[in-house]
Chain A
Amino acid sequence: MSRGRALALMVMIASLITPLITPLPTHADPLPSGTGFLSEDLQARQADEAANPGMLWVDEGARLWQSPQGATGASCASCHGDATTSMRGIATRYPAVDATSGALLNLEDRINLCRTRHQKAEPYPYESDPLLGLTAYVARQSLGLPMDVETGGAAAPFYAAGEAFFHRRQGQLNLSCAQCHDDNAGRSLRGDTISHGLGNGYPAYRLEWQSLGSLQRRLRSCSFGVRAVQFDYGSPDYLALELYLAKRAQGVAIETPAIRR
């Protein structure tokens, strides 16, 4: 057989098996949000803007949106106008690859990039109230909209890294994320019910924290729980994991700021 025909044959075989090996969305129907595992009281508090403590941060974010910052003196609103229209649906697409730098950015990083790139201001530290507030405010503009991140193209290697992280055993207790959040979702772990581990409600107000916190803060708790390395905020490991979680949440409505125990 000529090399050309051999190649053509290989391509043909590859195209036949590709549908089998291309990662399909793991679940046809969207997974249930973590909110469904809360008590009815907490679900009601989350849904009620006046009772949801996370709304304090959202309000702070709304204030910052209008506030002139950095060497340019521009506010977010100077460039993006009314967030209720300009930011609607944005959070459903994050984490996403920044075309200019090729870096994977979560919403926090994206906002900080506007601070450094467009406002000529210092980035806010992770878990600072201004960053939590702006992130929650931007995400809130997508309330009820389904998650829909890009995982192909430039995002593909990040997605693959996140998927591998999710499935590998880690820590002294030697457990993978999947062993809890896939294999044992819905079962109780000493008073807690294990959810599917989605990020659609973040930043979320966690009672244990008495504060709003980012998804990465939650990831650090899960790493800590299995006595694994808690990666730094903004580390490539957690960013990739966030992308994988976002894809797991494909079609799940954004609920920021969720309430969690």
Chain B
Amino acid sequence: MRLGGKLLSGAFWLLAALGSQNASGAELLPYTVRNDSVPAPLGGLSGDPRRGRDIVLDRRRGNCLICHSAPVAGEPFQGELGPPLAGVGSRLDAGQIRLRLIDQSRISPRTIMPPYYRIEGLRDVDPAYRDRPALDAQEIEDMVAYLRTLTD
């Protein structure tokens, strides 16, 4: 039942918070934007789609389902603020997905999607999260690899 589920979900929505211990601090790896894409993997890292799936679902890391739906079973609360992720692997190539995860606002300035690999131009960041990106380069690459598998 709706109410019961909601009560159980109790834990706070964006509460992504507290997590991201992985985000390794200070310096961002350099990358090059071409049109709407970052063609080269960050730091030349290769992504693992299984880890990427975990990050997308993990409320303390990607927490992407707060806004998106994804074709995964057993996830009762799927978001509706962003487009469904199903089929994104056929709509966008890896470089295009990468830029959207790094900083969606480069494509749509008024977007509500957080910038996951950016530290400049943010204000009033909680001291616990200051000066490091929301996700690290490996996590970005893992999610790119996972999203590329969502072809239907």
Contacts and interface: CB of A to CB of B under 8 A. Distances in A.
To the question of whether A and B form a pair in one complex, the answer is yes
Interface of A: 39, 41-42, 168-175, 179-180, 183-184, 187-192, 207-208, 221, 223-230, 261
B13 A192 contact: yes
Contacts of A229: 124-127
A197 to B, nearest CB: 13
A188 B79 contact: yes
B47 interface: no
A44 to B, nearest CB: 11
Contacts of B123: 168-170
Interface of B: 2-3, 5-7, 9-17, 65-67, 76-81, 105, 112, 114-115, 122-130, 134
Nearest to A261: B6
Contact of A227 (B6, B7, B65, B125): B125
A229 B124 CA distance: 5
A224 B12 CA distance: 10
Nearest to A224: B17
Q: Interface residues of B: mostly helix, strand, loop or mixed? A: loop
Nearest to A175: B112
B34 to A, nearest CB: 24
A225 B125 contact: no
A146 B80 CA distance: 33
Given A175-B112, A189-B13, A208-B12, A41 B126 contact: no
Given A190-B79, A227-B16, A227-B126, A175 B5 contact: no
B124 A228 contact: yes
B124 A171 contact: yes
Contacts of A226: 14
Nearest to B7: A207
A224 B126 contact: yes
B80 A225 contact: no
Contacts of A168: 123
Nearest to A172: B129
Contact of B80 (A179, A187, A207, A224): A187
A185 to B, nearest CB: 11
Contact of B66 (A42, A189, A261): A189
Q: A-B pairs with the 8 shortest C-beta distances?
A: A225-B14, A191-B77, A173-B114, A190-B77, A172-B129, A170-B124, A190-B66, A229-B124
A165 to B, nearest CB: 9
A225 B19 CA distance: 12
